[in-house]
Amino acid sequence: MMRAIPGRSLSLSLRLYRILLRVYPAAFLAEFEDLLCQAFGDLSNRAVRTNGIRGLFALWIRSIPDIIRSAFRERFHSASDWSFRLRWILGCSIAIPTPFTLIFLVKFIPVKIRLLLNEPSDLVAFDFLLSASLHGLTSGYLQSRTFGWKRPRRFLWVLATVTGMTSSIGLLGAYYPLQTLIGQAGTQILCVSVLGIIQSLVLARKNIRAVAWIPATAMGLAAAWRIRDAMPLVHLPIRVLGANTVLLILFGGLLAGIAYGVLTVLPLEWILQPQSAQNSAPDVSDEFPA
């Protein structure tokens, strides 16, 4: 009876393994499913002989992450490079909530301490320059990691993003004087376009398509700002913010980042296509570490 239990466990384990392999593309399974099942069966037998059911369980703990990771790579590493698109959108979605969290920690905690000590505090909700700088730093860094560029050019992208973000916020501060010169529509277009203008200088190395990045990022920023400003709690003074309101604001920032990433990823991919054909393995190897 004791021998029958490992035998049934092995049979059930192999059936579950075949089901789990459905996460791979059909073309991949047609070529490798039998080999994978045979290899897993051999490892399962060895694990049961060595450590019994506990050994089989340990094998599954190691196998599941490997299967998911390799299946993801097989499904999304295609000619259209879905892996690049997903990394770009993910980077943009993280880039907006992250600096808010840093600002929150830098400002909110000291404000609460002063309130507890009944000390006056004249800190305002946001220092716009600090906010823009942190947004630019986090956005630029996370975005640059998706390109596969070497470090000097990645640094230029981060620098361009910080400069563009702070310039956009600076123009918003001079909104009304600018409006008298170029009108409301012109001022709004300039505020959302300055980031794309500066970033396009980094993209423009022997690439005329970089001009398309200016309207693409302008539309992305306009949509992100509209979503973020639609959150009713985003303009509350930081001294009155609690945990629930902060989570709502972070959620709004996450939605804004996703919107920016979705609206800009296809134009960016189109801009980078000429360089993708010219730049091969050396630059790609500088992408995310495996």
Pick from 132, 133, 114: which is nearest to 123 by CA?
A: 114
Residues 42 and 167 reside in one and the same domain: no
Residues 68 and 88 reside in one and the same domain: no
Average pLDDT over residues 103-120: 55
CA distance 132 to 167: 9
Does residue 289 lie within any of the structural domains? Answer: no
- Is the model more confident about 5 or about 249? 249
- 266-290: pLDDT as tens digits: 899 888 875 544 443 333 333 333 3
Average pLDDT over residues 169-179: 68
Residues 137 and 91 reside in one and the same domain: yes
Residues 98 and 181 reside in one and the same domain: yes
CA distance 246 to 253: 10
DSSP 122: -
Residues 94 and 12 reside in one and the same domain: no
Residues 159 and 181 reside in one and the same domain: yes
CA distances from 110 to 89, 151, 181, 213, 230 (A): 33, 36, 41, 40, 28
The most confident of 100-104, 141-145, 206-210, 231-235, by mean pLDDT: 141-145
Structural domains in the chain (count): 2
Does residue 68 lie within any of the structural domains? Answer: yes
Q: Which two tokens stand for residue 95?
A: 């880039």
Residues 50 and 92 reside in one and the same domain: no
pLDDT at 224: 82
CA distance 45 to 41: 6
Q: Which two tokens stand for residue 174?
A: 């001079």
Task: Kindly tell me if the per-residue pLDDT of 160 is higher than 90.
Answer: yes
Task: Report the range of poorest mean pLDDT among 49-53, 128-132, 259-263, 267-271.
Answer: 128-132
CA distance 43 to 66: 14
Domain termination site, one of 51, 76, 101: 76
DSSP 22: G
Domain termination site, one of 52, 76, 100: 76
Task: Kindly tell me if the per-residue pLDDT of 200 is higher than 70.
Answer: yes
Pick from 55, 58, 54, 52: which is nearest to 3 by CA?
A: 52
Instruction: Quote the domain boundaries for residue 56.
Output: 4-76
In what helix (H) or strand (E) does residue 242 lie, and over which residues does it extend?
A: none
Confidence of residue 158 (pLDDT cuts 50, 70, 90): very high
Q: What is the dihedral of CA 88, 91, 93, 95, to 10 degrees?
A: -140
Residues 140 and 178 reside in one and the same domain: yes
- 222-233: pLDDT as tens digits: 888 777 666 554
pLDDT at 233: 46
Does residue 177 lie within any of the structural domains? Answer: yes
CA distance 4 to 145: 52
Planar angle of CA 25, 27, 33, nearest 5 degrees: 80
- 49-65: pLDDT as tens digits: 888 888 888 888 888 88
Residues 186 and 45 reside in one and the same domain: no
Q: Which two tokens stand for residue 235?
A: 């303009």
Dihedral pair phi/psi, residue 259, rounded to 5°: -60, -45
Do residues 47 and 58 lie in contact, with contact meaning Cβ atoms separated by under 8 Å? Answer: yes
Does residue 290 lie within any of the structural domains? Answer: no
Does residue 37 lie within any of the structural domains? Answer: yes
Does residue 225 lie within any of the structural domains? Answer: yes
DSSP 289: -
DSSP 186-236: HHHHHHHHHHHHHHHHHHTTT-GGGGGHHHHHHHHHHHHHHHHHHSTTTTS
Does residue 158 lie within any of the structural domains? Answer: yes
Residues 147 and 265 reside in one and the same domain: yes
Do residues 262 and 223 lie in contact, with contact meaning Cβ atoms separated by under 8 Å? Answer: no
CA distance 290 to 280: 18
Residues 47 and 172 reside in one and the same domain: no
Domain termination site, one of 27, 45, 76: 76
Residues 89 and 57 reside in one and the same domain: no
